[in-house]
Structure formats: C-alpha cells, structure tokens
Amino acid sequence: MDIDKIDNKEEKLLLARKIAEKVVDGQVIGFGSGSTSYLATIEIGKTIKEKNIRIKAIPTSNEIEDLCKECGIELGSLVEDEIDWSFDGADEVDGKNNMIKGMGRAMFREKLNILNSPITYILVDNTKFVNSLGEKHPVPIEVFPSAIKYVANELTKIGATETIFRGMTDNNNAILDTRFEKIDEELEKKIKSITGVIESGLFMNNNIKVLRIDE
C-alpha cells in the first residue's frame, strides 16, 4: 500500500496512534484490514519497539500479515490463541453501529476476529458515517467460485437490484458486490442462508466500539 496515496491520511493517522496507545505487553490483538488498519499496524510496530514489549497479532488479510512481519510483530492464530481485543476499519457505519465492511475483500477473516474478540475498536474517519447502510457502497459477499451464478440468482430473489463480480479474496473465493434497496438484520440472515455464500459484508449487532477522532 502506498501510504502517500491514502485518503484522509491525517485523520486516519490520528486514529492509528489512538489504537497504538492501547497496546499492552503480552496481549493477543486482532488486526483489521484496510488503510487505517495499515497505518495502525505501523504505529503499533513503533510502540512495541519503543516500549520493548511483545504482542501477538492475528491479521485479517495477507497484506496486513506481511506488514506485521516487516514491523517485527509476532503472528498468532485463532486455533492456538485467545484474542484480548481487536481493531478494524469499516466502509460504512450507521447510527446503531451496524457496518458494511469488505470493500477490501477481507470480511470473512474480519468477522472471525470480531466474533472471537471481547471488544473490537472500529477506526473510521468522518467520511464513513451514514444515515442508512448502502448509501455509498454495495454489500460485498464472499462466494465459493463455482456457486457464483446460483448465488447471484438467489440474491435477486431476496431483493438484490444489482450484483457485480469484483474479483477474488485472499481465500480464493469470489466477491459479489450487491446492491439492495433495504438493508436490515433479516437481510443478513437471508444472505448467509444461501448455499455457496461464505460470508457477507454486513456486520450487524457486533460487540464494537467506534473510535472517533474527536474523542
């Protein structure tokens, strides 16, 4: 990732430094994906060197995993370690702290970290807040590749107005960017019930705390 090309870099850097201040020796931390998480990983790398402490990271993308190695951050796993807390970004956040995530194609591992973490801090600049989900972004859906056609048809049946193949995830699954006129908790359940869907980019009623720049 080219740091100089990150949008709203100064705001995101402030959030990155806020999350780095929470790091304590011996913790296992879930590392999110995206540009803000990328900056946070760099800041955490600086923190552990300055304080001479040791932590483990459970990254949600290959990019963040590689960056952790570059920053001297030890890697853990959900199989062997218990997460103390996590951080991540979001593409959209509504007034109830429900989110759309996955425009970076990593929502399956992101959701795993959130579900395995007592608390997840969401780092978002002011451009990510919306009145209702779907205002700015489609819902990304991770799909087993040979199920693309079937899943697309089933998504239409539950209200999808547009479904576009975007590419592949780190897990070698397909991403379908899908538009809906109405997004709610029932929609998340309906999407997940379709055979071939690995995960949806709807994050509803998770145990998160949104970190704001002005807090």
Residue 42 pLDDT level (bands cut at 50, 70, 90):
very high
DSSP 108-149: HHHHHHHHTSS-EEEE--GGGB-SSTTSS--EEEEE-GGGHH
Distance of alpha carbon 178 from its chain centroid, rounded?
Answer: 17
Q: Give the residue numbers annotated as catalytic, written as ranges.
A: 110
Cβ neighbours of residue 195 under 8 Å, at least 6 residues apart? 147, 150, 151
Residue 215 pLDDT level (bands cut at 50, 70, 90):
low
Domains and CATH numbers, the chain: 3-131+205-211 (3.40.50.1360), 139-201 (3.30.70.260)
What is the pTM for the complete model shown? Answer: 0.93
207: three-class secondary structure by DSSP? coil
Q: What would the mean pLDDT of 66-81 be, rounded to a whole number?
A: 97
